[in-house]
Amino acid sequence: MNKVNLAEKLAMIGDHWNPRIVGELNGQHVKLAKFQGEFVWHDHADEDEMFLVLNGGFRMDFRDRSVELTAGEFLIVPKGVEHRPVAIEEVEVMLFEPAAIQHTGEVDSPLTVRNWERI
């Protein structure tokens, strides 16, 4: 039962699209990440995921629309919905997702993380 300082943890992240685990509860991982540029189109057949913007802003693209998010806003992407985060400038994000989730779903990409780092 240790507190987590988000600013300290975010300062440890120097790359993009590589979420780090900072907590765990009820089978869910709490992750921090920095986004910049375009991620890959993907979905998660069996898992919902939540994106909470801490600093900056990004756009979540769906096949039929886009949603702009800024600091203090969150979005839940339901399982099975294809999506792609896009960040023109660097954004800091907290993710809530099941521990068993595959980073890019069934899509294999150079951006795919297979082993989650804990910080």
Q: Residue 37: give its domain's CATH number.
A: 2.60.120.10
Asked whether residue 27 is assigned to any structural domain, the reply reads yes
How confident is the model over 101-115, as pLDDT tens digits? 877 777 777 777 778
Q: Is the pTM of this model over 0.85?
A: yes
Lowest mean pLDDT among 6-20, 65-79, 102-116: 102-116
Asked whether residue 1 is assigned to any structural domain, the reply reads no
String of DSSP letters for 45-81: SS--EEEEEEESEEEEEESS-EEEEETT-EEEE-TT-
Residue 47 domain boundaries: 6-118
Give the amino acid at 79.
Answer: K
How many domains, in total, are found in the chain? 1
Asked whether residue 52 is assigned to any structural domain, the reply reads yes
